[in-house]
Structure 1
């Protein structure tokens, strides 16, 4: 079996049969499937957003104070969530072709703003995958089923599975994720209903509350200022709950017609469900006096499950199971958004053009693979530690939020369509709110790693510009002249590289004689005895082609050949030199490893020589 056949069979085994381009519309998503694909990231953030708020608060306050103050922080985040959802509905209406923040920024704020938005979103998508998979593994180890020392190995395995599922196509990934997504929503609803019922009936288990010794002390002014910073820090950590909201506006093209209407409905449903679960979780954590585990061995969701459903109960394990699954599958939102955004950037010349090509399954396979590799790298670097990754999160998201809303403000001011003042107010409030939050996040998380995100965005902008400059330079060089062009006649010399006479050499010699009357066979002498045998057989098998022997005292093949090619090229004013390399192809892929790769080496070397044509004539072996 050849390498090509082996690759094709493995590809079909893991990814399924290819899908024709005219099936694109049939591969689009209905609202229920779209909610599963695009909302997984946002919904999964409810599993750790409350925990991040409590960790930030309990690091500086008494436990009782922390639980109480988590409520206004959560309400502020929920209000911001509503503003962002409504604002992004305006983005979808204005840009139903997709692209979201990037397209808005490009049209209304300029190239630099669009590059900032594109870079911020790409980084956020990578972080989303790393955080989601790591958080899912953290919940898995919280159950005690698997030791937390194996979290890195588990994270890598889950990531590979998600990559394979997404490579199978949009609809197949949507179907695969629909059941876990809706099961998670139903389980969370059951947790909230049961928890609040038990709280209001006074059926709350006794909870030992640890008291922190680091409560702020001092004058009222100092305490007020310290409390403000603590609340802002908690707010910045809890804003992780908003990540993923922008994904729907980026992937509007994935929806069935009418795309804008369906995307807006999905966004509204997602916002309502997300806000309800987030506020409910924070409220239950307050009522049940849940404290975060700073050692990271048990999550807040796990503690709530034990408190509400009972330790070791079937419902507790049901909750943990679907929390684990939704967290891991939340990475799917990025695998939908990242490749689409990368394709748009590639279309504009900011990323390699290969990223805009659809694969066999009508998905952007190259973008999926790149996202997988980058996420894997991040997971390994941070050892699948959710709390280490969270500080990098959200800065890029809110930066893109701010740019999108600012762009929509400019759009309304420019078009002034009926009802523009109301829409201007919506996006103006959104721009102001998300802009302030971006500044808060950058300041609060600067020392925790936010500076790295800023630096990476700057580096991506430089990369975007370098790639675009290259494509523009190439296009400029390839433009045809204004007047007609008649090619000049050239002398065509063909050199056939011959190591020995065999069945693989003869077809190369025959082909050479069909394309030129100036043909030479060239042999690099590494072994005088082998050279003499070649001379003796040449008169009979050489097809009347002159044989040139090149001495190589230092046993190099490339140097004598390159020198001789330069010499041949100088014989005529207009001389085109074609080098023909005989090469045999083995039937089994691993047989190829047993043979000298001289042809590959020479092709790599000669491709750098201007004005040379390198051709391979293959001879296929039967065994």
Structure 2
């Protein structure tokens, strides 16, 4: 193999591996992160504190404890350094960077998971029935007569798709979103189309939820109607800030709005049925609507497509199966059944009340507000209903802030999106995906002036495109596996796929001129961009692949001189603030006057063994100073695979693997380098980054700017040098040597 061949070439010119290990002036084992099972989040937080990587407890005796105490004192001093104005504003708005935290995966009970994961689906009752009636009323009284049959068809669709997703949960117990299911069973392009539908759905979820929430508010406070666009944009900005800060969705705090909305609809339907029983369930005559068009199949299908938007968010539970307590898949299926039951009951109850009360849509008041006015008047129950509706719609918008960045992360992991979307921000959230979602949702919201009826035609296309591909993928899944009860599962998923496809085609045709063309165009543009990005990453990967004719090896390296590389004495502790030195003055750590007094350590972060990383390792070894290779792995399995490749290469340089089970890669890298600095404050640490240099400026966004991030994160520490070894790529095809 090429790795073994490269290793033999290294062995000809490099010192023995034991010589490099004995030359290290630090102990590379500075500690490890706890196991995920040991991490328990706070009651209303998604983060937990863990010990910084400053040493392994119980090792090193008194000298080790002194070094650890010195490291903690140095760290406290370093983190106290003041930042600029922009840094202070950022911390005031978003909070301090979580340098010593990790994401803890929360395991939710069914009673908590139900409101948290069902907010999007259940809140659609606030606008789904109204969207249906808005289309039928165009044909006057004759059109409204079709409301009950169309509502029954939508109820059947809810049941069919709900049962279909129960099969998805059984087949994908670790989470089976539309992108994963379609990619696994239908191929890359259908998977990308499903992802496009999902991302369109999430953007419109924010826009529609905010517009519907504003409609609920302005129905109770008509004086705010003229400012609905401005207020809606401010609401999106608040959602952006909250999610960048790391607001968690789970827990009683975020479950309350959903349960309040369920209670409000239940009380509203109960009051309405009680009043209707007093008149023998005789429907109240509707105001004579002006018919703008005749009743026909096209009108009925448009109403069916619009009302079907009440099903948005059904797939949320199948995406989040690992978030449930064991048995996860069984609890997820039970919760999905509860959600479908509640959704059917709330939708059917609302439609029954619309029919019995003779309510038709108005421009200044929602249908739900009209029903609440007739049942409760202007009293406290009316205010409670409108407040619960507005809150659950905002919670539904916040649901998209979890799912949209997650889909972007999966796309970036598969090289279909820029790799910046795999990065966690200061608050351990996918900040770039959150910002992109907020900007896109705000643009859509402003472009359609915050009108829910104008946004609905775009909504159905993305939702049912993802449903169709996901359920079609499940049909292929069962056909291939043919395990127990596969025929029954295939039948359920085929029914869901057929009905979802029917709604998708209907929405695309009947609402094309009303705005559905925008969603279809967005899907096509997304497919074009993601395939071009994947093509670029494939070309760069080919350029980085090891080749016999371009083996990167150091030229004539020698073991570092004994007087500079022998394990050094533990450095005297740095003076803490208040012990004769001002914080950050660096008087005792940057006092070398001659080159001979500087002690070096080169740290080379290595993500994989390819041309760029080999060039960086060769450069570091050729400096004839101690070298430590560092690999941060997201799992034990990935760490073992990298270790096997390293041993196959020949294990020529010291290697330290840090397993970070919290999805973050850069943050543990920074923490490890800081720990080495705190262990030996007198040491000059040079971080050598392999950097891919692309030819075109528009390709820069597709590369992760690791060197710049490390410089910004480590600039407050003295004696840390960050340098990069460039690897030039021409057109993504071949290296420029």
* TM-score, normalized by the shorter chain, greater than 0.5: yes
> What is the aligned partner in structure 1 of residue 411 from structure 2?
345
Which of 514, 521, 527 is equivalent to 1:461?
527
Question: CA offsets per residue over residues 547-576 of structure 1, 9 Å max, x none?
Answer: xxxxxxxxxxxxxxxxxxxxxxxxxxxxxx
1:439 CA drift (Å): 1.1
Change (3 A) 1:70 1:421: same
| 2:119 equivalent among 40, 50, 62 | 40
CA RMSD of aligned residues (A): 3.5
2:432 corresponds, among 352, 357, 366, to 366
Cα pair 2:119 2:396 within 8 Å, conserved:
yes
Is the alpha carbon distance of 1:444 and 1:438 closer, same or farther for their aligned partners in structure 2, counting shifts above 3 Å?
A: same
Mapping of residues 74-473 of structure 1, within 5 Å:
74-144=151-221, 146-169=223-246, 171=248, 174-202=251-279, 209-214=286-291, 226-293=295-362, 296-310=363-377, 312-473=378-539
Q: 1:31 aligns with which of 102, 110, 114?
A: 110
Q: 1:448 to 1:43 in 2, by over 3 A?
A: same
Question: CA separation of 1:487/1:415 partners in 2, compared to 1, >3 Å: closer, same or farther?
Answer: same
Aligned residues: 498
- Checking the alignment, whether the CA contact within 8 Å between 2:324 and 2:331 is kept in structure 1 is yes
Change in 2 beyond 3 A, CA 1:71/1:16? farther
Distance in 1 of aligned mates of 2:397 and 2:454: 17
Q: TM-score, normalised by structure 1?
A: 0.73
Shift of 1:6: 5.5
Cα drift, residue 205 of structure 1: 11
TM-score of the superposition, structure 2-length normalised? 0.62
State how far apart, in whole Å, the 2-side matches of 1:470 and 1:512 are. Answer: 44
CA-CA distance at 1:206 after TM superposition: 9.9
Provide the C-alpha distance between the structure 2 equivalents of 1:201 and 1:607, rounded to a whole number of angstroms.
Answer: 76
- Distance, in Å, in 2 between the alignment partners of 1:70 and 1:140 is 26
Verify the 8 A CA contact 1:99 1:344 in the aligned structure 2.
no
Q: 1:607 Cα deviation (Å)?
A: 10
Q: What is the distance in 2 between the residues matched to 1:345 and 1:97?
A: 18
| 1:55 paired residue number | 134
- Counterpart for residue 11 of structure 1: 91
Cα deviation for residue 165 of structure 1 reads 3.0
1:313-372 Cα deviation digits (max 9, x unpaired):
111111111111111221022112111111111111111122223445543232222211
Cα deviation for residue 107 of structure 1 reads 1.1
- Describe the superposition over 1:50-98 as per-residue Cα deviations: whole angstroms up to 9, x where unpaired: 1111110111122xx4443211111110110111111011112212222
SS at match of 1:335: helix
Q: Give the deviation of 1:253 after TM superposition.
A: 3.6
Structure 1 residues 308, 122: closer, same or farther in 2, change over 3 A?
A: same
The alpha carbon displacement at 1:193 in A equals 1.1
Q: Which residue of 1 aligns with 2:722?
A: none
User: For the structure 1 residues 28 and 441, does the alpha-carbon distance in structure 2 shift closer, same or farther, using more than 3 Å as the test?
Assistant: same
Alpha-carbon offset, residue 171 of structure 1: 3.7
Distance 1:70 1:34 in 2: 33
Unaligned runs of 5+ in 1: 218-225, 490-506, 516-605
The CA distance in 1 between the partners of 2:251 and 2:446, in whole Å, is 27
**DSSP-derived class of the 1:61 partner:** helix
Alignment of 1:62-77 (within 5 A): 62=141, 65-77=142-154
Shift of 1:202: 1.9
Superposition deviation, residue 176 in structure 1: 3.7
- Offset at residue 2 of structure 1 (A): 5.0
2-structure distance, mates of 1:511, 1:391: 72
C-alpha distance in structure 2 between counterparts of 1:51 and 1:407, whole Å = 32
Match of 1:221 in 2: none
Which deviates further from its counterpart, 164-173 or 462-471?
164-173
Contact 2:283 2:355 in 1 (8 A): no
Q: Deviations over 1:171-207 (max 9, x none)?
A: 4565442111111111111111111111112299996
Secondary structure of 2:296's match? helix
Q: Which moved more, 1:8-17 or 1:296-305?
A: 8-17
Q: Per-residue displacement from partner, 1:570-600 (whole Å, max 9, x unpaired)?
A: xxxxxxxxxxxxxxxxxxxxxxxxxxxxxxx
| Cα pair 1:180 1:322 within 8 Å, conserved | yes
Q: CA deviation at 1:22?
A: 5.7
Aligned to 2:641: none
1:454-491: per-residue Cα shift (whole Å, max 9, x none)? 111011011111111121112221223336433569xx
Taking the aligned partners of 2:425 and 2:110, their CA distance within structure 1 comes to 24
Please state how far the C-alpha of 1:375 moved relative to its aligned partner: 0.8
User: Quick check: 1:251–1:337 contact (8 Å CA) kept in 2?
Assistant: no
Tell me, yes or no, if the aligned pair for 2:128 and 2:308 is still in contact at 8 Å: yes
Q: Distance in 1 between matches of 2:308 and 2:283?
A: 30
- For the pair shown, the structure with the greater C-alpha radius of gyration is 1
Q: Distance in 1 between matches of 2:185 and 2:542?
A: 27
Q: 1:206 to 1:416 in 2, by over 3 A?
A: closer
Distance 2:224 2:92 in 1: 35
Contact residue 78 and residue 279 of structure 1 kept, 8 A? yes
Deviation at 1:619, TM superposition (A): 12
Quick check: which one's helix share is greater? Answer: 1
Distance 1:487 1:514 in 2: 26
Shift of 1:29: 3.2
Closer, same or farther: CA 471–175 of 1 in aligned 2, 3 Å: farther
Which whole-Å CA distance do the structure 1 matches of 2:329 and 2:96 have between them? Answer: 31
**What CA distance in whole angstroms lies between the structure 2 residues aligned with 1:5 and 1:511?**
37
Say which is worse superposed, 263-272 or 313-322, in terms of deviation.
263-272
